[in-house]
Amino acid sequence: MDVALISDTHIPSRAQRIPDAFRERIEQADHVIHAGDFDSKGALADIKTLASTLTAVSGNMDPRIGLPAVATTELDGVEFVVTHGTGSPRGYEQRVANTIHEYAETDTAVGVSGHTHDVLDTTHDGVRLLNPGSVTGASPATRTTMMVATVEDGAITVELHEL
């Protein structure tokens, strides 16, 4: 199963549209995870039209779009805990790891977050943390990025895509 991991669209405040190459990857994915900061109900609606199924959370720029702050989903034996990671850059990884520990039902849950617009694939406090960066390259990102996770029978591999 291919899972598109995206975040920080910031449409329309910082970007106008997700690049076509990434729109195609999102459409081809079996599931999409968005870690917040859509920036508008229109951006959320656009993602919903691209995604076959969607797990999404609100970010600090999404106060009124009707999404939770944290969401969990299990896909082919891999538990994902999704949060935006809102707050100061200082302590970001620990803050996200704490959220994962609080919401995860397994010891092997993978955390997906956004907020910083910086790509991250690391283990912190025993939790694998993934931040796909900004799918539109919205400032302060210095590049346009997303991740595709391949999950199968409880195993996960992650590939970074960059434009």
Structure tokens that stand for 105 in this block: 């039902």
Question: What does the pLDDT look like over 85-111, one tens digit per residue?
Answer: 999 999 999 999 999 999 999 999 999
Please provide the average confidence, as pLDDT, over all residues in the chain.
97
Question: What does the pLDDT look like over 6-25, one tens digit per residue?
Answer: 999 999 999 999 999 999 99
Q: Which helix (H) or strand (E) holds 47?
A: helix 41-50
pLDDT of residue 63: 78
**What's this model's pTM, rounded to 2 decimal places?**
0.97
pLDDT of residue 69: 97
CA distance 58 to 72: 13
Maximum CA extent, the chain: 40
Domains identified in the chain, total number: 1
Residues 6+ apart with CB under 8 A from 128: 110, 111, 121, 122, 156
Question: What does the pLDDT look like over 52-72, one tens digit per residue?
Answer: 999 999 999 997 899 999 999
Query: Of all residues in the chain, what percent carry a pLDDT higher than 70?
Result: 100
Label residue 151 by pLDDT band (50, 70, 90).
very high
The whole domain housing 73 covers: 2-162
| CATH number of domain containing 70 | 3.60.21.10
pLDDT of residue 12: 96
pLDDT of residue 16: 95
